[in-house]
Structure 1
């Protein structure tokens, strides 16, 4: 497992930056081995499109010449947001606890998708009954709280996995995500804000107003991506960022879910674009400006299903595709094994 003891030394954010600086790179020898085997499989070169690239990506970050998806896991992080006091969501905060109970009972969409694809599922309760501070009036979290939550997110891979999907649940978190995008990349808040769980026009106006107030309050402090995270984010967004970093350290490829999960990735990308090399975008959300967010972090989504549910649902569907890519690469016959003639020349 990742050694998180360094988080106790120095200032908390400096230690996160140290983890970023120590990231391992891709295993190019493993990629070369995948390409060599791919050339011998019973298919025309390039005929499996992005499935072939996915096999290379898995090998690069697992460090294996023959990648595996034997222990895939979706980790869903659940948090509560103080900004909901501003009327930014169509649902009350009580839904947070109710949805955790639904996950536990196996009644949510993510339970069904994971079961259908043979994917493990874990939920992380990030003090769901204690909201962060209202970021229109003060920072959502203190620096120590933010980093401790990132460290908690790092535990997502503690049980061992070879492919991690990250997702979230938290009433109000599309407002937090939109605020993060606006702080990182500029533009009017209205450009980044969507309807989340289905707010009406008045609710949409309240979301925009809340973000405008937050940007005015926090001002120049938002020049630091980690300050953006703690001031405007939520515990689930911090935890997803931590999970991405821990996965990188342990050579576990990551599938990012939708609009809110991408906000966690965007903070890391702003620190160092290389932090997301081991990640793919699971899907294109129907929420807000997710397409632009993905473009800005250099990710092309694997799926576009017009989904905006969150809870790791798009990541889990994409992991089914990645499992298929791995199976094709590992289990297809070679031309020699199948006694099939190769293309001349």
Structure 2
């Protein structure tokens, strides 16, 4: 497997930030998580105070999944939602506008049927849809690597951002994520499967059975992360992993969203050890697999709002908190200056 060298955040900037935070006009540690985030941003930017977070960009990785039959919504919703993103009327585009973030859609594997979309949306397309992972591989040989490189290219295109957020759109993606998390961390399928778009009862039992069948089918092939993505993942999941790795290599802070980006992060950290130092968890998803992924990565979500929309919508909500963290270290006075 190729090597992806990841630089470490600046330890000297972090130490300087911690010293300054302890000297602000407040009891030591009294601003809690905000202080931790301020030090993290300082280390990521290599300067105290960290730079303003003015240029925040969301990239929504879109693709269809062969297990979409387990969802409460039909496969065609993926393509329809891409058009909603482009029209600026989706959840994440509306929420991103509130914090001044830009939203881009990247079609990696949407199974379009007669719709026309701008060329820039499909510039990195790998295929149409993916295999039903309980009975076949998600991707053809070589496609996981190609999608990973596409994600790296997308991150390179967004290299001017102060913060990047990976979003997702694809009916059936929580099923895929549950399978990849179970295979990556050696967990029972029943512990990682969640309600996704809102399934329950017999539908949830079927979803769990699909994940269990997929993991069994791929057993013996999941040690290699690219082989795992081929068997159980998707083009958009592999691209998100590449996006996360490239962002870390370029020293760009990333705020992860829900289960989809958390799953990609588990694989990305395996491919490029140390990349997780450049990521924050924006919010706590209602999907159980995300909790396992966050624990494996050593990340603690900033917010817990009960969100399960995806798209990058939860991570966008964490941006005001990050800006508040920067403000305290940039603008608060020092105890030493009191007269």
Do Structure 1 and Structure 2 share a fold, with TM-score over 0.5? yes
Counterpart check, 1:32 vs 2:30: no
Q: What secondary structure does 1:221 align onto? A: coil
Give TM-score, length-normalised by structure 1: 0.87
Query: Cα offset for 1:261?
Result: 1.4
Distance between the aligned counterparts of 1:66 and 1:143, measured in 2? Answer: 46
Distance change in 2, residues 1:187/1:28 (3 Å): closer
1:34–1:55 Cα contact (<8 Å) kept:
yes
1:55–1:329 Cα contact (<8 Å) kept:
yes
Partner residue of 2:134?
136
CA RMSD of aligned residues (A): 1.8
Query: Cα offset for 1:193?
Result: 0.7
Partner residue of 2:312?
312
Query: Cα offset for 1:51?
Result: 1.0
Give TM-score, length-normalised by structure 2: 0.89
- Figure out how many residues of one structure are paired with residues of the other and give that number: 320
Partner residue of 2:87?
105
The one of 68, 71, 75 aligned to 1:93: 75
Query: Cα offset for 1:95?
Result: 0.4
Q: What secondary structure does 1:61 align onto? A: helix
Partner residue of 1:267?
267
The one of 83, 87, 97 aligned to 1:115: 97
Distance between the aligned counterparts of 2:167 and 2:70, measured in 1? Answer: 21
Distance change in 2, residues 1:187/1:39 (3 Å): closer
2:78–2:169 Cα contact (<8 Å) kept:
yes
Listed one character per residue, the Cα deviations across residues 231-258 of structure 1 (whole Å, up to 9, x for unaligned) are 1112221121111111111111111111
2:109–2:236 Cα contact (<8 Å) kept:
no
1:184–1:270 Cα contact (<8 Å) kept:
no
Q: What secondary structure does 1:223 align onto? A: coil
Listed one character per residue, the Cα deviations across residues 247-289 of structure 1 (whole Å, up to 9, x for unaligned) are 1111111111111211111113344652211111111111234
Distance change in 2, residues 1:189/1:244 (3 Å): same
Counterpart check, 1:53 vs 2:53: no
Partner residue of 2:162?
162
Distance between the aligned counterparts of 2:237 and 2:176, measured in 1? Answer: 9
Q: What secondary structure does 1:141 align onto? A: coil
Listed one character per residue, the Cα deviations across residues 135-163 of structure 1 (whole Å, up to 9, x for unaligned) are 22322113421122122222135231111
1:29–1:65 Cα contact (<8 Å) kept:
no
Counterparts of 1:318-333 in structure 2 under 5 Å?
A: 318-333=318-333
Query: Cα offset for 1:229?
Result: 1.9
